[in-house]
Amino acid sequence: MRRRSEPGVPLPLLVPAVLAVAFLVLPLAGLVLRTPWAELGPQLTSPAVGQALRLSLVSATAATALSLVLGVPLAWVLARSRARGRSVLRALVTVPLVLPPVVGGVALFLVLGRQGLVGRWLDQALDVTIPFTTTAVVIAETFVAMPFLVISVEGALRAADARFEDAAATLGADRWTTFRRVTLPLVAPGIAAGAVLCWARALGEFGATITFAGNFPGTTQTMPLAVYLALQQDPDAAIVLSLVLLAVSVATLLLLRDRWLTRAVR
Amino acid sequence: MSRRALLGTALVLVLVLAGCGGSAGGSATAPSDGPAEPGGTLTVFAAASLTDVFPGLGEQLEADHPGLDVRFTFAGSSALATQVAQGAPADVFASANESQMAVVTEAGLADGEPQVFAANVLQIAVPAGNPAGVTGLADLAREELTIAVCAPQVPCGAAAEDVFAAAGLEAAPDTLEEDVRAALTKVELGEVDAALVYTTDVTAAGDAVEGIDVPQAERAVNDYPIAVLADAPNPQAAAAFVELVRSDQGQQALADAGFRTP
């Protein structure tokens, strides 16, 4: 790749770039400008908001943890294994990226619902029902968010210098040891970036959650659901809730960026 | 990507953006053919419970007035009322209760007085075969059953609260659904043991769902008002649609779907 040293941005790029910034930032500015600040205090301290926010943070974090445990090995298989049909596999696991989340929620019902393929058995044999529980929220969020992690980690694995792994192999390390001691540290920044992306997507999840997990305060009503329902009755409350969600996500991303992401960018 | 390709992409984007701006301005003002015949596009915002009745009436209106294109948005009345208040370009609003219509009329967004055109009562919907053996409202207070009720923000949820209060029962829902059709879907899928929906939804669901009457539901009958909106882009067609809904033909279609007619 050649790097050009000439300063400045060419006009044909500058104009659309400025438009893009305006397009992305103006709605957020509108949210801040329209915030009824007088209502901020009462809303923030209301137990319902705290409950929804706590549930959102807990379930997004659990979904990210689940995605890490399952998604990193999957990314390794996609990037490193020589198995046939990898491109088909990659296409399959990234389907949730393009699937409307509501459709994802219905699909989850058909598999994990009480009448679903697996859910029916869970219900009858183990007396476990998943829909309308916090577990269902985590599953819905994982379904939608894990592909983001898999794609990021696979990219990092492909970009990582395979010679380190080859060297470890010639020194007698088996593939598991190589993965653990060489590959993982090598792609750690990529995993961190993928995890943040995954967490952010899980935090904002709406469609699959309201479909598969339902909406009940304390168990399944996450912040996006609370915002949606508040909008129907009290738009001001919805704006305040949105602002809280926005502030929490931006703060979390900034915090993580200082810790990890700057390393990923380098 | 080469520099040339990037430039090309950027140009296309700018053109697309410019194009969007132009066409959005153009299509917002629907063409009206003078005072004679309703034409153009008619946009009707209607409560989710009207999903199975209004499209038939829309087709009827299209047949009566060639050149007219009737479009529907079905959702929870409160979501629709919010959209109207935010300036959605709708011509007609049909709400599942008076209080969501009041959101629109109090903002001065309705043209004239809303007219009540139908009424609906709640009924318990259970999956075919009633696997949980639900017999009445008291079963909806049992923790061990999986129950769906509408969220209190939407009309069917507000009515449900009234029904439970009238019966002196503490409901034990597992989910508060965003509109009545979402609650019905959970019953159709067999994912809940029972849901409190409208009688008309039980009728619409056919064999997949069984209905159980709730005597207390008579204490919370929802009246459905309809109004032409003050900012309607197509007021003529809007008036024609409201007239059709209130005509004998419209009332018969509503009655066939299980609505009560005034």
In a domain, B4, yes or no: no
Interface residue A229 vs chain B (CB under 8 A):
yes
- Interchain pair B154, A16: CB under 8 A: no
The 10s digit of each residue's pLDDT in B148-174 is 999 998 889 999 999 999 899 999 999
- Interchain pair A214, B151: CB under 8 A: no
Same structural domain, B153 and B216: yes
Nearest C-alpha in B relative to A130: B191
CA-wise closest residue to B81 among B105, B114, B103, B59: B103
Same structural domain, B69 and B197: no
In a domain, B30, yes or no: no
CB atoms under 10 Å from CB of A247, counted, come to: 11
DSSP label at residue B149: E
Q: How far apart, in whole angstroms, are the C-alpha atoms of residue B190 and residue A131?
A: 11
Cα distance from B76 to chain A (closest Cα, Å)?
9
- Interchain pair B174, A129: CB under 8 A: no
CA B168-B170-B174 angle, to 5 degrees, is 150
Crossing angle for the helix pair A37-45 and A47-80, nearest 10 degrees? 80
User: What are the C-alpha distances in Å from B199 to residues A213, B76, B203, B220, B221?
Assistant: 25, 16, 6, 13, 11
- Interchain pair A216, B191: CB under 8 A: no
Same structural domain, B147 and B216: yes
Q: Which residues contact B233 (CB under 8 A, 6 or more apart)?
A: B28, B29, B30, B40, B41, B43, B89, B91
Q: Which of A108, A120, A130, A232 to mutate to test the interface with B (most CBs of B within 10 A)?
A: A232
SS3 content of chain A, % helix, strand, coil (to 5): 80, 0, 20
The 10s digit of each residue's pLDDT in B7-16 is 444 444 444 4
Of B17, B154, B191, the CB nearest to A113: B191
Same structural domain, B133 and B150: yes
Give me the domain span that covers residue B78.
36-118+223-256
In a domain, B109, yes or no: yes
Of A129, A217, A233, the CB nearest to B78: A233
Q: Which residue has the tokens 């058995």?
A: A121
Same structural domain, B112 and B229: yes
Cα distance from B64 to chain A (closest Cα, Å)?
35
**CATH number for B210:** 3.40.190.120
The CATH superfamily assigned to A59-265 is MetI-like (1.10.3720.10)
Nearest C-alpha in B relative to A102: B182
Average pLDDT over residues A83-106: 88
- Interchain pair A216, B174: CB under 8 A: yes
Residue A226 has pLDDT above 50, yes or no: yes
Q: What pLDDT score was predicted for residue A5?
A: 53
The 10s digit of each residue's pLDDT in B197-233 is 999 999 988 899 999 999 888 888 889 999 999 989 9
In a domain, B102, yes or no: yes
Q: What pLDDT score was predicted for residue B137?
A: 92
Same structural domain, B157 and B79: no
Same structural domain, B54 and B169: no
Cα distance from B177 to chain A (closest Cα, Å)?
6
Same structural domain, B214 and B126: yes
Task: Say what the ipTM of the complex is.
Answer: 0.77
Nearest C-alpha in A relative to B7: A12
- Interchain pair B151, A229: CB under 8 A: yes
Contact B44, B72 (CB under 8 A): yes
Same structural domain, B45 and B101: yes
In a domain, B27, yes or no: no
Q: Which residues of B are annotated as a binding site for molybdate?
A: 49, 77, 180, 198
SS3 content of chain B, % helix, strand, coil (to 5): 45, 25, 30
The 10s digit of each residue's pLDDT in A109-156 is 999 988 889 988 888 888 888 999 999 999 999 999 999 999 999 999
The 10s digit of each residue's pLDDT in A32-53 is 888 888 877 887 788 888 889 8
Chain B: residues touching A (Cβ < 8 Å): 6-7, 10-11, 13-14, 17, 76, 78-79, 81-82, 85, 146, 148, 151, 153-154, 173-178, 182, 186, 189-192
Which two tokens mark B136? Answer: 């009445």
Q: What pLDDT score was predicted for residue B25?
A: 35
Which two tokens mark A91? Answer: 């296409």
Cα distance from A237 to chain B (closest Cα, Å)?
13
Residue B129 has pLDDT above 70, yes or no: yes
